[in-house]
Amino acid sequence: MTGPRRRPRGLPEHLDREDTLVMGVLNVTPDSFSDGGLYLEPERAIAHGRELLAAGADLLDIGGESTRPGAPRVDAEEERGRVLPVVRALAAEGAVISVDTMRTEIAEASVAAGALIVNDVSAGRADTDMGSLAAHLRTRLGTPPVFVAMHWRGHSDVMNELTDYADVALDSAAELAERLDALRAAGVDEDFLVADPGLGFSKTGEQNWELLADWASITSHRLPVLIGASRKRFLGALGVDRDHATAAVSAYAAEHGAWAVRVHEVAPTLAAVRVGDRLRRSRR
C-alpha cells in the first residue's frame, strides 16, 4: 500500500516540494488565546504577515473569528471587515493565503481577494453550503481552493463538553472521514483536500497526546495532513515554553510526513521541520 498523499493540488509550483511547509498564524481578532488584539488593526496585521513571511513562513492563515474554548461567535460582517483587507493586501504582495473561516460568504470573498486555501475548522458542519461552494470556487490560479477539513464536534462555547470518546484517535478519524465523504459528495475534488485531526478541539490534554501518538489514524484518510498544535494548552501543561514545545511537535509531524504545520512563531518551527524532514528522508 502506498503512503498518504503528501501535497494538495492548487498551490504555486514553489510549494510543490517534499519539505513540510510552515503555515504562519495571523489572527485578526481581539480574543484569540495567545495573540488576541495584537493584530486587530489591518495595518498591524499586514505588517505582522510580512514578518512571518520574512521569518520563513510558506503560507499565512488569516482568521477573523477566535476558536479558543469559550469564545463567542462574531457576526459575518465583523469577520469580513477584519479579514478581507488583510487577505487582499498580502495576496497582492504574492503571499500564499489561507482563510480560516466557517462561513461561505467569507470564504467566497477571501478567494476573490486572492486566498488559495479555505481552512474550515468545522469541515463544513457549521455552514452546510461550504462544500458546494468550495467545489465551484476558482482561485486566481484557475483551480478550486485547497480545502482543509478539521475534526470538529461543536462551536467554541460547547466544545469542552464534547470530549467523550471510546478511542479518541479512532473515533475522531472516523468522524472526520464522514465529513470528508460529505465534502466529496458535495463536489469537492479529492486532490484539493487536506485533513486536520483537530488538536485541542473537543479533546482533553491527555486525548491530544493520545491522538498525536497514533499517526496511523491521523493519516488514515490518505490525504495531506495539517497539524495545528501551536501554543495550545496541552503543551503549556508540560511546564515549558509553548513555542519551544510547538517546535518539538512540528519536528515530530515533519518526520512523520505532515504536509504543513500551523504555528504562531515561525523561526524555531522552521528549524524543527527541517530536522524532521531530514530524519524522514534518511529513514526512507
- Beta 117-120 vs 97-100: how paired, if at all? parallel
Tell me if 130 sits within 8 A of 107, measured CB to CB: yes
Q: Tell me whether residue 262 is one of the annotated catalytic residues.
A: yes
Q: Which of 7, 98, 10 is nearest to 57 (CA)?
A: 98
First to last CA, the chain: 15
Distance CA 215, CA 201 (A): 17
Q: Tell me whether residue 203 is one of the annotated catalytic residues.
A: no
Tell me if 225 sits within 8 A of 4, measured CB to CB: yes
Q: Which of 151, 261, 271 is nearest to 208 (CA)?
A: 151
Q: Which of 179, 232, 278, 283 is catalytic?
A: 232
Distance CA 215, CA 211 (A): 7
DSSP code per residue over 238-278: TTS-HHHHHHHHHHHHHHTT-SEEEES-HHHHHHHHHHHHH
Tell me the three cell numbers of residue 89. Answer: 493586501
- Say which DSSP state 144 is in: P
Tell me if 256 sits within 8 A of 214, measured CB to CB: no
Tell me if 97 sits within 8 A of 107, measured CB to CB: no
Q: Which of 262, 274, 278, 280 is catalytic?
A: 262
Give me the active site residues, please.
232, 262
